[in-house]
Amino acid sequence: MIERARELLASGEVNRVLAWEKGENDFDRTPAVFTADNVDSLVYDGLCGPNLSKYLVGEMEKEGKILVFLKPCDSYSYNQLATEHRIDLEKVVPIAVGCRGKIDVEKLRAKGIKGILSVTEDGDKLLVKTLYGDAVVENRKEVLLDKCLACKGKEHVVECEVIGESEDTTEGDKFGIVAKLEAMTPDERFAFWRGELSKCIRCNACRNVCPACSCVKCVFDNPNTGVANKAAADDFEENMFHIIRAFHVAGRCTDCGECSRVCPQHIPLHLLNRKFIKDINEIYGGYQAGAEIGQRHPLENFDKGDCEPSVVHVRGGARK
Amino acid sequence: MKKISLNALGALFAKIASTMKLYAPIEKAGQVDFYEWNESEKVRLDVLKTVKSAKDVFFPQVEDLLKFRVEGKSIEMNEAPKCEDDFVVFGVRGCDARSFELLDRVFLVDPRDEFYAARRAHGIIVTLACGAPEESCFCTNFGIDPANPGGDASAWIVGEELYIEPHTERGAALIADLEDADASSVEAAKKEISAIAERLPFANLDLTGFDGEHLMEKFDDPAWERLSKACLGCGTCTFVCPTCQCYDIRDFDTGHGVTRYRCWDSCMYSDFTLMAAENSRHTQLQRFRQRFMHKLVYFPSNNDGLYSCVGCGRCVAKCPQNLNIVKVIKALGGKKA
Ligand code: SF4
Ligand code: SF4
Ligand code: SF4
Ligand code: SF4
């Protein structure tokens, strides 16, 4: 990857590269923009969880083309952003990179591994050095990010050069948990979401990382809307924030899983969005946001087969 | 020195809670934060760091200040009540305990913040030594000793026992009924903690040059561009931080009046420092720089050299893109003009 990036920089095709660099901890990976001077510090490995495509939005005002590396999940977000004209394809050179699932350091911690100093991959094994001795995780699949366990598959949906191989990391039916929530009684479901969402500290990490949340200014940040708030006047507002956000990204959410990855309180936000995806699939037929550039999603499209909103309710979601 | 078996802690908590409010690290939906205790809550003293710091207890994320009620032509104004009763915060780590002293320097100087002051006057702090510091901890750089965390009383977990040493009368009163204990096992535990603290990866950060004299040099450092590049402007780092102290005051329209409340604000946000004309910080680079300059340069230059960071490492562990104060210190520190 570094070599290819260097070639493209040298030929002048691009003038900068969006990729990952190592952070302060040995296992930290941070999105970074490189030029020819520092492209050697680019890293790509099993720890590169953060997706990059949303950073392109901020790069669009700059001169020249930028090279971006896209994991399979990120390629959907890329298409969705292009569909919404938030990125200009003339200014980007995408290269797809292979992915075998990214490691969630929090899951290592949840296994009781404390004081982690470094994480090294050895095939399917992970060697973890800590302040309190070394640990081995036999199968890296045990500690992959949740988003990787619900991966849309190893194919990239952007047509471009591909570097490296991908592996399918999908585990079981990704709508399984949604179905479980649907099967709860309204009171149980309410209690579940109240419990989860009440932990929210309203840091907005989920919104800011979300490639579907690409509004230049969010209504909740704009004092002129009258609904702006940083923290809620009562704790139910936080809960509403998430429900409103989920509605706003419905049909555009690609299920990239970044919202849940970044949440400092480990709130399973993706389940809200996935419920919408499941409903859209059932009511309007299967649909995957970001599968191709220029798609119109079912909520902004009309075809004669669509059922009336009132009917949706009555039919309980069966498409006729 | 007193001791109590970990199994009997519930009884101690129940006793304390029978006369006053008790806050402790409590697990809810899988995450641990400081909440008010009752018998049904699950206390997790084994968890080193709560997601949010203990600052919440003294300076909550949201609190009402004032209520206006409009009826006909009259407006009734009621100030929110201030804390009037003693309460206990149990299980505060050394870093968070120090953070209260730093917050005091903001809220207890003129003009004094009476809401905060009332809570500080009534809060009894029982700290807990850190049996197993984590890689993100770097409190020792700021003179904090994880083996001797301070407060009104300090506790150490050794095996299945909790040892408590009072430092103040209020601390002593809490544990007066407990059985006396010999301090030797605690001394051994302290040595172990200190040995780990020395081996922490960020134990020896070079803070030279972070002071008022080098303000412009730090401010103009070209490294900020690179350091802030990936910042989402989310505010996670400010909300989990025990020493972040900025807040906003807002009005909530209740239909027939207004509830004026205060909530934490974050310098990472686009509407922070929003003034009539505009926001003086246009870019995320400027906002990012503000957070770290405040902690490492502005605060110490106004507060006898004290940094507004206690090295708790929460921003290190929680930033979604792995940016943090350690990275800033390493990039800009150790240089003297
Ligand atoms: S990232 Fe988590 S804590 Fe932050 S606003 Fe979103 S849900 Fe709340
Ligand atoms: S430094 Fe990290 S946690 Fe803080 S605002 Fe930026 S992205 Fe969020
Ligand atoms: S700046 Fe970071 S390490 Fe320092 S006190 Fe705040 S959260 Fe803790
Ligand atoms: S930073 Fe220090 S005091 Fe705080 S939790 Fe870590 S070791 Fe304990």
CA atoms within 13 A on the CB side of B107: 23
How does B310-324 read in b/e, with b if 16+ C-beta sit within 10 Å? Answer: bbbbbbbbbbbbbbb
Residue B150 has a pLDDT of 95
**What per-residue confidence (pLDDT) applies to A236?**
66
In the predicted model, is pLDDT for residue B62 greater than 50? yes
**pLDDT in the model for residue B215:** 86
State if residue B91 touches ligand 4 by the CB under 6 angstroms criterion.
Answer: no
Backbone angles phi, psi at B58, to 5 degrees: -95, -30
- What's the CA-to-centroid distance between B228 and ligand 1, angstroms? 21
Is the pLDDT reported for residue A295 higher than 90? no
pLDDT tens string B159-210? 999 999 999 999 999 999 999 999 999 999 999 999 999 999 999 999 888 8
Q: What pTM did the predictor assign?
A: 0.89
Q: Whose CA is nearest to atom 2 of ligand 4?
A: B139
pLDDT of residue B210: 87
pLDDT tens readout for residues A179-221: 999 999 999 999 999 899 989 988 899 999 999 998 877 878 7
Residue A306, pLDDT above cutoff 80: no
Going by pLDDT thresholds of 50, 70 and 90, the confidence category of residue B280 is low
Band (pLDDT 50/70/90 cuts) for residue B148 is very high
Contact B230 A266 (CB under 8 A): no
Mean pLDDT, chain B, rounded, equals: 91
pLDDT of residue A234: 59
Size of interface A-B (CB pairs under 8 A): 136
pLDDT at position A26: 94
CA distance B62 to B249: 10
Mean pLDDT computed over A22-42 = 95
pLDDT band at A228 (very low <50, low <70, confident <90, very high): low
pLDDT of the residue at A319: 43
Q: In the structure, what pLDDT confidence band is assigned to residue B277 with cuts at 50, 70 and 90?
A: low
Q: How confident is the model at residue B109 (pLDDT cuts 50, 70, 90)?
A: very high
Q: How far is A167 from chain B (nearest CA, A)?
A: 24
- Any residues with Cβ below 6 Å from ligand 2, and which? A 205; B 231-237, 268, 319-321, 323
On chain A, the residues whose CB falls within 8 A of the CB of B270 are: 217, 221
Ligand 3 center to B241 CA (angstroms): 5
Residue A223 has pLDDT above 80, yes or no: no
Q: Mean pLDDT lowest for which of A60-64, A299-303, B291-295?
A: A299-303
Distance (Å) from CA B236 to ligand 2 centroid: 6
3-state secondary structure chain B: CEEEEHHHHHHHHHHHHHHCEEEEEEEECCEEEEEECCCCCEECCCCCCCCCCCHHHHCCCEEEEEEEEEECCEEEEEECCCCCCCEEEEEECHHHHHHHHHHHHHHCCCCCCHHHHHHHHHEEEEEECCCCCCCCCCHHHHCCCCCCCCCCEEEEEECCEEEEEECCHHHHHHCCCCEECCCHHHHHHHHHHHHHHHHCCCCCCCCCCCCHHHHHHHHCCCHHHHHHCCCCCCCHHHHHCCCCCCEEEEEEECCCEEEEEEEECCCCCCCCCECCCCECCCCHHHHHHHHHHHHHHHHHHHCCCCCCCCCCCHHHHHCCCCCCHHHHHHHHCCCCC
Q: Which of the listed residues A245, A258, A265 should we mutate to test ligand 1's pocket, taking the one with most ligand atoms within 8 A of CB?
A: A265
CA distance A98 to chain B (A): 21
Position A317 pLDDT exceeds 50: no
- For B84, residues 6+ apart whose C-beta sits below 8 A from its C-beta are B118, B122
Q: How confident is the model at residue B270 (pLDDT cuts 50, 70, 90)?
A: confident
- Average of pLDDT values for A46-73? 95
Confidence at residue A314, expressed as pLDDT on a 0 to 100 scale: 54
Residue A310 is predicted with a pLDDT of: 67
B137 lines ligand 4 (CB under 6 A): yes
A231 lines ligand 1 (CB under 6 A): no
| A83 within ligand 1 shell (Cβ under 6 A) | no
Q: Can you tell me whether residue B191 is helix, strand or coil?
A: helix
Looking only at Cα atoms, what is the longest distance across chain B? 70
Q: Do residue A209 and residue B234 have CB atoms under 8 angstroms apart?
A: yes
- The amino acid present at A27, given as its one-letter code, is F
Q: Write down the ipTM of this complex.
A: 0.87
pLDDT band for position B131 (50/70/90)?
A: very high
CA distance B125 to B151: 5
pLDDT: which is higher, B145 or A248: B145
- Nearest-10 Cα torsion for A68, A69, A74, A76: 70
Distance from Cα A265 to the centre of ligand 1, integer Å: 7
- For residue A320, name the pLDDT band (cuts at 50, 70, 90): very low
pLDDT, one tens digit per residue, over B316-332 is 999 999 999 999 999 88
A186 against B214, higher pLDDT: A186
User: What CA–CA distances, in Å, run from B30 to A192, A267, B130, B283?
Assistant: 12, 9, 21, 36
A23 touches chain B (CB under 8 A): yes
Spatial neighbors of B47 by CB under 8 A, at least 6 apart, are B25, B27, B32
> DSSP letter at A224?
G
Note whether A50 contacts B: Cβ–Cβ < 8 A: yes
pLDDT at A89: 94
Q: How confident is the model over B79-93, as a mean pLDDT?
A: 96
Task: Please report the pLDDT score of residue B252 as a whole number.
Answer: 81
Q: What residue in A sits closest to B31 (Cα-Cα)?
A: A265
CA distance A277 to A289: 9
Interface of A with B in 249-278 (CB under 8 A): 261-262, 264-267
Mean pLDDT of B73-96: 95
Q: Which ligand minimizes its atom distance to the CA of B329?
A: 3
For the CA of B193, the closest atom of ligand 4 is 7
Please tell me the predicted confidence (pLDDT) of residue B326: 92
User: Nearest-CA distance from B290 to chain A in Å?
Assistant: 17
Across the interface, of A50, A130, A196, the residue whose CB is closest to B29 is A196
Contact B33 A199 (CB under 8 A): yes
User: What 3-state DSSP class applies to A320?
Assistant: coil
What is the arithmetic mean of pLDDT over A260-287? Answer: 89
Would you state the pLDDT for residue B104? 96
Over residues B284-302, mean pLDDT: 88
How far does residue B322's CA lie from ligand 2's centre (Å)?
8
Please state the φ and ψ torsions of residue B91, each to the nearest 5 degrees: 90, 30
Contacts 24+ apart (CB under 8 A), A86-91: A86/A56, A86/A57, A86/A60, A86/A214, A87/A53, A87/A56, A87/A57, A87/A60, A88/A60, A89/A293, A90/A65, A91/A59, A91/A60, A91/A64, A91/A65, A91/A66
Asked whether the beta carbons of A145 and A104 are under 8 A apart, the reply is yes
Q: Which residue has the tokens 């804390």?
A: B83
Using pLDDT thresholds of 50, 70 and 90, give the confidence band for residue A288: confident
